[in-house]
Amino acid sequence: MPPRRGHVAISAPDIDSTLCGGPASENEPGCRLAPRVPEASGTNTPSRPSSHRGSVKTVLRGLRPEAARVTLNSHVAFVDLRAQTRALHPALIAAIETVLSRGDYVLGDDLERFEAEFAAFCGTGHAVGVDSGLSALELALRAADIGPGDEVITQANTFIATVAAILAVGARPVLSDCDEQGGMDPAAVEACVSPRTRAVVPVHLFGRIGEIEVILALAATHGLAVIEDACQAHGAVWLGKRAGSFGLAGAFSFYPSKNLGAFGDGGMLVTNSAALADKVRLLRSYGQRVKYVHETTPMNHRLDTLQAAILRVKLPHLDSWNYRRRRLAASYMERLGGLPIGLPWAEEDGRHVYHLFVIDVDRRDELRAALASDGIETGIHYPVPLHRQPALAALGYREGAFPRTERLAERSLSLPMYPELPVDHLEHVATSIRHLVEGWA
């Protein structure tokens, strides 16, 4: 995929000196943040010769010992959830024990506090904890009175939960093709608008906010609600605002592998509408304000207090974790530069949080198999587009309906990416890819 306007090139010395360290900064170029929670204190050698081996000492300088340790012939995990848990273990145990001592496991004190803290982080007036990102999307649609007979536009290139939420309220999902990076294409959305369209659900895929200002203008022209699927974009910034704060509501997932992950399932809806937040609170807990008096169809979508307590420990670290993801992404781009593969890009006025680092490459499956033989785990997001999913055949889309989406399904490859990714592991991944791709020339 070709470079986008605004691609920011970062020099190798800058990449190396900040790769896995350094605090997130509100003065970072292009970053004008909404209110946020203050940062809390506390807290393989490649199988082939590397063309970047001379820079490793610079990369390692200043890293914590556990982050800088070189492990010979190591397996490279796609994500290692244990690394983050080890770093925060004492604080996590203390938070869990506090909940155990109080016994307020449902709608408890930590949930209320976490909702307030996450709303402040996102720059929204309200946040409502729920049991998954899917539930956050579904309840946002329900609270907006979207249901049978209505159409909701989203993109074909996304996880199925986006469409599942639309189906759950009885509306019809209308799919649109994606842009070059997999996000929502405003022109494709415009072509999908009909008299029955009630809402648009842009997906901030892989941690990148797309052309949300264009989508908002389009929605305003047609009188449509915008509900952001921000399940992969915790902390992402565009034009000084956080993901989730642009539309009527934003939906987040706290699945363990997310940039902000729980110890199980969890989710959050954020909004600036007090009325919408109040309705979602009603919907998530059996439709009751007064115990045993049910005002709406009963559903249970509450976020457990234990999960909220865990997420409260993690939230103050989210900006610094995202900072490390950006440094790792910059290092990947420097080391993979010049190869005939498509690399991610980020606008000058935005901040990509790299939930996933996705490349576009010929012979993707062959490359993936070769990397696996080198001990490197990778992923594909997503191998089967929604319009070709058996479960969604009733939507009536034919193969070839969304060419950019199908191209990404055939060519995209997600590389290992998490804040604690060891430098030698990244070197191993980049060196292996360079050796393989250059060998195809």
State yes or no: pLDDT of 211 exceeds 90.
yes
Q: What is the DSSP string of 141-186?
A: HHHTT--TT-EEEEESSS-THHHHHHHHTTPEEEEE-B-TTSSB-H
What percent of the chain stands above pLDDT 90?
Answer: 80
pLDDT value at residue 30 = 34
Q: For the segment 319-345, what is each residue's pLDDT rounded down to a tens digit?
A: 999 999 999 999 999 999 999 999 998
- pLDDT band, very low/low/confident/very high, at 205 (cuts 50, 70, 90): very high
Kindly report the average pLDDT of the chain as a whole number.
87
Q: For the segment 405-433, what is each residue's pLDDT rounded down to a tens digit?
A: 999 999 999 999 999 999 999 999 999 99
- pLDDT band, very low/low/confident/very high, at 73 (cuts 50, 70, 90): low
What percent of the chain stands above pLDDT 70?
Answer: 83
Class level of CATH domain 90-315: alpha beta
Q: For the segment 243-261, what is each residue's pLDDT rounded down to a tens digit?
A: 999 999 999 999 999 999 9
State yes or no: pLDDT of 27 exceeds 70.
no
The mean pLDDT value for 155-162 works out to 98
State yes or no: pLDDT of 10 exceeds 90.
no
Nearest one of 420, 421, 326, 414 to 371, comparing CA atoms = 414
| Residue ranges of domains in the chain | 12-79+316-440, 90-315
Query: Biggest alpha carbon distance in the chain?
Result: 69
State yes or no: pLDDT of 177 exceeds 60.
yes
Q: How far apart are CA 103 and CA 101, in angstroms?
A: 6
- pLDDT band, very low/low/confident/very high, at 9 (cuts 50, 70, 90): very low
Task: Tell me the whole-structure pTM to 2 decimals.
Answer: 0.85
Q: What are phi and psi of 413, to 5 degrees?
A: -140, 125
State yes or no: pLDDT of 1 exceeds 70.
no
Nearest one of 23, 24, 30, 25 to 7, comparing CA atoms = 30
Min mean pLDDT across 53-57, 125-129, 220-224, 283-287 is at 53-57
Residue showing tokens 């993901």: 243
pLDDT value at residue 330 = 95
Q: For the segment 350-390, what is each residue's pLDDT rounded down to a tens digit?
A: 789 999 999 999 999 999 999 999 999 999 999 999 999 99
State yes or no: pLDDT of 59 exceeds 90.
no
Q: Is 94 exposed, middle or buried (0-12, 13-18, 19+ CB in 10 A)?
A: exposed
Q: How far apart are CA 127 and CA 281, in angstroms?
A: 10
pLDDT value at residue 345 = 83
* CATH dotted code for 12-79+316-440: 3.90.1150.10
pLDDT value at residue 441 = 74
On whether the CB atoms of residues 254 and 106 are closer than 8 A, the answer is no
